[in-house]
Amino acid sequence: MSAPVRPSQVSKELVTPTGAGILAAFAAFEEPSMNVLHLGTGAGNAELPHPNIMRVLIGESAEIEPACVELSCNLDDMPAEQIGAVMDRLFDLGALDVFFTPIQMKKNRPAVMLTVIANGADEQKISDLMLRETTTLGVRVHDLRRHKAEREILTLDTSFGTVRVKEKRLNGKRVGLHPEFDDCQRIARETGLPLIEIYRRILKELD
């Protein structure tokens, strides 16, 4: 806890006019959260009734945005088609994932919990959209930590033509391949084959 600050009884100049001007223009009289990198202490020559010492701390901000956040709200008075439209808007705004969970609320009302995973830097604009375009009065926010696999979209030649495939890697080693849904759906429409069969054949060719 910080020590109390009391008025000084010293009747002499404690700061130069130039120093006062610099403080007035640039100083913020608050204690920021920071990681201290350097610390300097110096003692003055003047005899004062209190220690004539100045201390300077140089550091970097410790208020680091979380890598990811989870934002959620409960909706029990909003039509389903409007909730679906909000999902599209959230993805357009940069949400990493958006999903709905059926829940039960007060007065036995069936409802939906809207959950959004977003980058920490996007928290404000995502929460603003949720408050503006849904009926909720509040948005819950939790900091998240994520472990992510490496991924890359490959364009590969198959018997069905060119298909995009998502390659999943862990520590530089391939651990999975997944054909893109849109490409598989297009091939299923063109060939009349079941979608599941398209997936099976493409994966077999990629083995």
Task: Going from the first residue of the chain to its last (207 residues), give the mean pLDDT of each consecutive group of 10, the final group possibly shorter.
Answer: 61 78 77 77 79 78 72 94 95 96 92 96 96 96 88 91 92 90 95 94 89
Whole-angstrom distance, CA of residue 167 vs CA of residue 62? 36
**Cβ pair 148, 133 in contact under 8 A:** no
104 domain residue, yes or no? yes
**Cβ pair 166, 189 in contact under 8 A:** no
114 domain residue, yes or no? yes
Place of tokens 């003692």: 43
Same domain for 191 and 132: no
51 domain residue, yes or no? yes
| Rg of the chain, C-alpha, whole Å | 29
156 domain residue, yes or no? yes
Q: Which of 112, 129, 144 is the last residue of a domain?
A: 144
50 domain residue, yes or no? yes
Whole-angstrom distance, CA of residue 46 vs CA of residue 49? 10
Whole-angstrom distance, CA of residue 125 vs CA of residue 21? 37
Q: What is the reported pLDDT for 143? A: 92
Neighbours of 139 (CB within 10 A): 18
Same domain for 125 and 78: yes
Same domain for 134 and 76: yes
What phi and psi, each to the nearest 5 degrees, are found at residue 73? -155, 160
135, two tokens: 């009926």
Same domain for 195 and 169: yes
Whole-angstrom distance, CA of residue 181 vs CA of residue 188? 10
| Total structural domains within the chain | 3
Q: Is the dihedral of CA 175, 180, 181, 184 positive or negative?
A: negative
Q: What is the reported pLDDT for 65? A: 55
Q: What is the reported pLDDT for 1? A: 46
Amino acid at 91: F
153, two tokens: 């979209």
Q: What is the reported pLDDT for 85? A: 95
Range of the domain at 108: 68-144
Neighbours of 133 (CB within 10 A): 15
Q: What is the reported pLDDT for 66? A: 63
Alpha helices in 146-194 (DSSP H): 181-191
Which residues does 54 contact at the CB level (< 8 Å), separation at least 6? 41, 42, 44
